[in-house]
Amino acid sequence: MHRNFKLLADPQLVKCGAKLYRYDGVVPGDPTYPTITPRDPRNPLIRIRARPVDPLLLLIPRFVIDSDYVGQPPAIEVTVVNLNDNIDKQFLSSMLDKCGTFDEIQIYHHPVTNKHLGIARIVFESTKGARQFVEKYNEKSVMGKYVFKQYTLGRSLYD
């Protein structure tokens, strides 16, 4: 079975009788065409001088959960309620470091009085980190208050 072929003459492009093919360097049934010995068309000097290429470190893409997402979004967002007034982003991030990596922490304050509302929103990089955080701190006392956590079903990772 012939694997390599080339169309030498096409009647729709050039006026000739029939299509003429060359298979593996030989035109079957026509000895007038010389036999072609296939060779590598690349320049041999470049291949000799080429040094080994260092492996590339490619970043792993993160998928965006947007309006076109099909299926149930992953639970990566956790809402924490009943927080103590003294809890700030630094304290909350030290709690989160034990559970996994996170993308965003937002502690809500009253827009006029700037008083701590006791609500925080945490967006994790993975569902595993969110699950660990909920299992570890759900209904546990943090700074004297019992905190309740709840999953919020997914959201866009890059809002």
Per-residue pLDDT tens for 12-44?
888 888 888 888 888 888 888 887 777 778 887
Q: Across-strand partners of 80?
A: 120, 149
Q: What's the rounded Cα separation, in Å, for the pair 135 and 98? A: 12
- Per-residue pLDDT tens for 102-154? 888 999 999 999 998 988 998 888 888 888 888 888 877 787 777 766 555 45
Note whether 76 and 154 are within 8 A (CB).
Answer: yes
CATH number for the domain running over 77-152: 3.30.70.330
Q: Listing from the earlier edge strand, what are the strands of the sheet with 102-109?
A: 102-109, 116-124, 77-81, 145-152, 140-142
Residue of 12 and 52 predicted with greater confidence: 12
Tokens of 122: 């945490």
Q: Is the CA virtual torsion 119, 130, 95, 157 positive or negative? A: negative
Q: What's the rounded Cα separation, in Å, for the pair 155 and 74? A: 8
Note whether 81 and 119 are within 8 A (CB).
Answer: yes
The per-residue pLDDT for 149 is 62
The per-residue pLDDT for 50 is 67
Q: What's the rounded Cα separation, in Å, for the pair 97 and 66? A: 27
The DSSP symbol for 42 reads S
The per-residue pLDDT for 105 is 92
CATH 3.30.70.330 in the chain: give the residue spans. Answer: 77-152
